[in-house]
Amino acid sequence: MAEIEIVKDIMEENDEIAREVNGILNSKNIYCINIISSPGAGKTTLLEKTLARLKGRTECAVIEGDISTPIDRDRLLPHCDSVYQINTDTFGGDCHLSAFMIKDALKEFDLDKIKLLIIENVGNLICPADFEIGEHSKVLLYSLTEGEDKPLKYPVSFNVADAIVVTKMDLLPHLEVDMAKITENIAKVNARAKVIFVSSKSGEGLNEWIDYLTTAKK
């Protein structure tokens, strides 16, 4: 009983800070997306391509979430001046980002110079879906290599997503994967999400993804 109360308190406190973060972003006209996926679904690679395409067009900032290492920040810095790395091992190794971490991270940026804030959450297809962090929309990345059944097995994460980006489309000829089943299973869990099929390697779908990002941020 005490456990349930404590969890409820943690969630309520998080949601309150998330609303505060969202208010700060709105006051500065910054649109914010929260990218969620399994480890290795291609979040950082997609961001490399995205930032390269948005350079000189939209002022971006990125918050990188990982348990450990500044690897992702270092990958993105060549494409964007404003990249901040959160390592959750300084907070006990949390398996997701929390709103208070984002609130702190905002202090690292000149918010008057940003139009789009991209947050790459910790690689985890479960826990990040439960924690609002002040974002305007959630984008879920789903690698083709993960198989057709993932929407059904991870329904909460797939359901909260505003957009679902199916990644690594270039590997399709080398996988035994049924694309119709992928589309069908996504629709079963979330018929409302925009679904985009991309390959950061071949460039497939990147125009549609950039269009979505730049349209959504209005």
Which residues of the shown chain bind its own copies in the complex (CB under 8 A)? 2-3, 6, 10, 38-40, 66-69, 71, 93, 95, 122-127, 143, 145-147, 149-150, 152-156, 168, 170-171, 174-176, 201
Shortest Å distance, C-beta 200 to its own copies:
11
Distance between first and last Cα of the chain: 44
Cβ proximity to its own copies, 52 vs 156, nearer residue: 156
- Do 146 and 176 contact (CB within 8 A), yes or no? no
- Give the span between the Cα atoms of 195 and 42, in whole angstroms: 16
Tokens 């198989």 sit at which residue? 147
Residue 186: CB partners within 8 Å, gap ≥ 6? 142, 151, 158, 164, 193, 195
Cβ proximity to its own copies, 71 vs 187, nearer residue: 71
Shortest Å distance, C-beta 127 to its own copies:
5
Cβ proximity to its own copies, 77 vs 171, nearer residue: 171
**How many CA atoms lie within 13 Å of 70's alpha carbon, on the beta-carbon side?**
6
Query: Considering only CA atoms, which of 86, 173, 89, 80 is closest in space to residue 121?
Result: 86
Reduced to 3 states, what is the DSSP secondary structure of residue 132? Answer: coil
Shortest Å distance, C-beta 113 to its own copies:
29
Retrieve residue 33's tokens.
Answer: 């997306």
Cβ proximity to its own copies, 73 vs 116, nearer residue: 73
From residue 153, how far is each of 36, 97, 159 by CA, in Å?
Answer: 16, 22, 11
Cβ proximity to its own copies, 95 vs 111, nearer residue: 95
Shortest Å distance, C-beta 145 to its own copies:
4
Shortest Å distance, C-beta 199 to its own copies:
12
